[in-house]
Structure 1
Amino acid sequence: MNISTPSAATASPAAKIRIDGLSKTYGTFTALEPTTLDVQRGEFLTLLGPSGSGKTTLLQMVSGLTPATSGRLSIDGENWTDRPVHERGMGLVFQHYALFPHMTVEENVAFPLKMRNQPADQIRAAVAETLEKVQLDKFAHRFPRELSGGQQQRVALARCFVFRPEIILMDEPLGALDKALRETMQLEIRRLHREFGTTLIYVTHDQEEALVMSDRICVMNHAKVEQLGTPSQIYSDPETIFAATFIGHSNLLQGTLAGTDDQGNTLIRTAAGTFAGRMGARDADAGAHALIVRPERVSLGAATGPGMNELRATLRDVVYIGSDNRLLLDLPDGTEFTLRRDPGADIGAEIGQEITVHWPIEAGRVVS
């Protein structure tokens, strides 16, 4: 069974990595359903999902650390399914930096080049160039214990990039860092990827990290692909309820399909009323349905023209988060509905009062 989604990449001769029906089972437990997708040359693809979604299993099968139960892995058109990990020549970066404590920064970064028997003068030049790119040239003679967590991660990145692998695989490499340092390193990895033009597959459960860094995101859940697309596609046009709620915050109005309006928009009947929205890419008859609306697309007040949805709800709380205020509303059936408002803007209502909100029809996505 091929479970690639309708938005998954179609077969392309230019694909650097082709994953064709790869799966992994352990007895009766399925770690990854048969999965098919292409990774283009020089692309930054992020595998995003919660624990147990299959993302690390897929990465490890690409690396060769885990043998596939079925399917085929091709690199540049050649079958690599059974090729040993030491013959794949891929760069690997994990959450635990695995630096050699008895070696200096310079020696750690030089290690993969020495293992490949490169000439000493070429090693010195490559190490110096790479340490400069990760801004560690002044720390070349320090030992890992003398570095901060962020500096140690830079060493791990330098050790990976120094031998110019065509493919780099990263599994939660920033998981041990604090928020500020994670954000800095996200931009650093993105910059290095662009400079070196490497094909990179990155595993994370952090949605913001995926949106910031990726060319495309592969959202995974329950050992299969939920959606594959650009960050903008994943955020603005989710294809499933899971994709919509896992990436960013969404208002979720569950209901049943009620036909279409005069403009061809899909109508969905919910406990809060009947609303119009754009139908997602998935089968309209499949499973339960919901209207997804992002909080930043919702405005206070009644709709003033056509092409708008409108509802009334009770203002339960206003939460200040710096960049904006989050208005938390309660619908009659107990569903929470959220919108964002500029901190300096007047809300025009007190806690406990009923208010009216509206949003453009095109801002709502009907998914299943």
Structure 2
Amino acid sequence: MTAASRQNKLVLEGLSKRYGAFTALEPTSLSVDDGEFLTLLGPSGSGKTTLLQMISGLTEPSEGKLWVDGEDWTFRPVNQRGMGLVFQHYALFPHMTVAENVAFPLQMRKLPQAELRSRVDETLKKVQLDAFAHRFPKELSGGQQQRVALARCFVFRPRLILMDEPLGALDKALRENMQMEIRRLHKEYGTTVVYVTHDQEEALVMSDRICVMNHAKVEQLGAPHRIYADPETLFAATFIGHSNVLTGKRLSMDDRTAVIRTPSGDFRGAYTARDRGTEKVALIVRPEQMRLGPPPDGEYDGVTGRLNDLVYVGADTRLLVSLPDSTEIMLRHDPATGAMPAIGDQVAVHWAKSAARIVS
């Protein structure tokens, strides 16, 4: 499905939730395209699960509107929404086989037996569990149980699938495998998915767009590569991936860039229009953008500091450098590109000005 052919599946207009004086979600407006995979990403208490529960109908909003396929679903009962729900706890029926668990939502919809069996068989094949159809949940691994939960959700072809931390109970290797499994199912079925996680890497791997949330509101919404490369706020820059942060005061700016004065020097970086009135700002540079050595020309900025530690991580080595004001920065260094300095050495570090971002 091309971007031009997509239409809005889900639209939120000023949706919010309050519990007395406590605000669980500030008024939030966003839209989700038909067939899109949108991830709500943020720490505990950021409002992401509250937002998902209002979309599902499990929680009523305090104000605002929710539209699905152009219909007002703001107060539609949860049992009339026909959405697929997948949670961290699989909620499988222990007395039913795999096939019976997957068939259950079709039985509730009174599908003819021939179509029911066909859909169950097809879906179990897609999640590679057709050989386990007659087993019970207790006879499956955690990853297999999660695939049953996914199959049970996808089998009835819901308009919208909501997933709340579905991989949180799995170990790292299995979690990564299941990320690919969900991506594949999403692409094969073309279903619209709204997915909640606090795992930054998971969001980057799986999403068409990421909605970064903090303190009950949206910090930034965009494609994964855009949020990683062009964060609009300090929170977005530091929550997704690692960022080197040099704080200071904005000295000047033009249409696209600004100069910031920090204890380590004056530096230039790209600057968004979001907070042009803010003087206290931070320079953000990703570790992979930093290199050893002094700035080669005027297109680069740099600092000097003491090498505190070397951390070998396989593909590269992480160098931790302490600046004179005690700020610590990290760069990723390929040992094959030159001699490795020793811990305690004074080192110069540089980066392209075009790779730096200034945020508030």
Give the conservation status (yes or no) of the 8 Å contact 2:244–2:287.
Answer: yes
Aligned to 1:301: 293
SS in 1 for 2:24: strand
Give the conservation status (yes or no) of the 8 Å contact 2:302–2:350.
Answer: yes
Select which of 269, 272, 276 maps to 1:280. 272
Aligned to 1:71: 64
- 1:162 aligns to 2:128 (yes or no): no
Aligned to 1:365: 357
Deviation at 1:348, TM superposition (A): 4.3
Please list every run of 5 or more consecutive structure 1 residues that lacks an aligned counterpart in the other structure: 1-11
- 1:41 aligns to 2:41 (yes or no): no
- 1:209 aligns to 2:199 (yes or no): no
Aligned to 2:112: 119
Give the conservation status (yes or no) of the 8 Å contact 1:323–1:343.
Answer: no
Aligned to 1:259: 252
- 1:249 aligns to 2:242 (yes or no): yes
Select which of 334, 338, 345 maps to 1:342. 334
SS in 2 for 1:209: helix
User: What is the CA–CA distance in structure 2 between the aligned matches of 1:137 and 1:348, rounded to whole Å?
Assistant: 52
- 1:101 aligns to 2:110 (yes or no): no
Residues 1:343 and 1:177: Cα distance change in structure 2 (over 3 Å): farther
Select which of 179, 182, 196 maps to 2:175. 182
Aligned to 1:321: 313
User: What is the CA–CA distance in structure 1 between the aligned matches of 2:61 and 2:71, rounded to whole Å?
Assistant: 16
Aligned to 1:7: none
User: What is the CA–CA distance in structure 1 between the aligned matches of 2:73 and 2:256, rounded to whole Å?
Assistant: 47
Deviation at 1:282, TM superposition (A): 1.4
Select which of 24, 33, 36 maps to 1:31. 24
Give the conservation status (yes or no) of the 8 Å contact 1:320–1:343.
Answer: no
Deviation at 1:321, TM superposition (A): 1.1
SS in 1 for 2:85: strand
Give the conservation status (yes or no) of the 8 Å contact 2:52–2:162.
Answer: yes
Residues 1:289 and 1:223: Cα distance change in structure 2 (over 3 Å): same
TM-score using structure 1 length: 0.95
Identity %: 66
Give the conservation status (yes or no) of the 8 Å contact 1:73–1:79.
Answer: yes
SS in 2 for 1:332: coil
Moved more, 86-95 or 279-288: 279-288
TM superposition outliers: structure 1 runs of 4+ over 6 Å: none
User: What is the CA–CA distance in structure 1 between the aligned matches of 2:64 and 2:159, rounded to whole Å?
Assistant: 23
Aligned to 1:355: 347
The alignment's C-alpha RMSD in Å is 1.4
Give the conservation status (yes or no) of the 8 Å contact 2:285–2:355.
Answer: yes
Give the conservation status (yes or no) of the 8 Å contact 1:322–1:343.
Answer: no
Moved more, 339-348 or 180-189: 339-348
Give the conservation status (yes or no) of the 8 Å contact 2:6–2:34.
Answer: no
Deviations 1:123-172 (A, max 9, x none): 00000000000000000000000000000000000000000011000000
Select which of 144, 149, 158 maps to 2:137. 144
TM-score using structure 2 length: 0.97
User: What is the CA–CA distance in structure 2 between the aligned matches of 1:57 and 1:209, rounded to whole Å?
Assistant: 20
Residues 1:260 and 1:31: Cα distance change in structure 2 (over 3 Å): closer
- 1:83 aligns to 2:108 (yes or no): no
User: What is the CA–CA distance in structure 1 between the aligned matches of 2:6 and 2:191, rounded to whole Å?
Assistant: 18
The one-letter code matched in structure 1 to 2:275 is D
Deviation at 1:310, TM superposition (A): 1.3
Deviations 1:40-80 (A, max 9, x none): 11000000000000000000000000000000000111110
The one-letter code matched in structure 2 to 1:199 is T
Please list every run of 5 or more consecutive structure 2 residues that lacks an aligned counterpart in the other structure: none
The one-letter code matched in structure 1 to 2:16 is S
Select which of 287, 304, 329 maps to 1:312. 304
Deviations 1:231-271 (A, max 9, x none): 0011000000000000000000000001148x963110001
User: What is the CA–CA distance in structure 2 between the aligned matches of 1:286 and 1:269, rounded to whole Å?
Assistant: 14
Aligned length: 356
Aligned to 2:12: 19
User: What is the CA–CA distance in structure 2 between the aligned matches of 1:264 and 1:253, rounded to whole Å?
Assistant: 19
Residues 1:199 and 1:28: Cα distance change in structure 2 (over 3 Å): same
Deviation at 1:316, TM superposition (A): 0.7
User: What is the CA–CA distance in structure 1 between the aligned matches of 2:203 and 2:183, rounded to whole Å?
Assistant: 11
Deviation at 1:311, TM superposition (A): 1.1
Deviation at 1:296, TM superposition (A): 0.2
User: What is the CA–CA distance in structure 1 between the aligned matches of 2:6 and 2:183, rounded to whole Å?
Assistant: 25
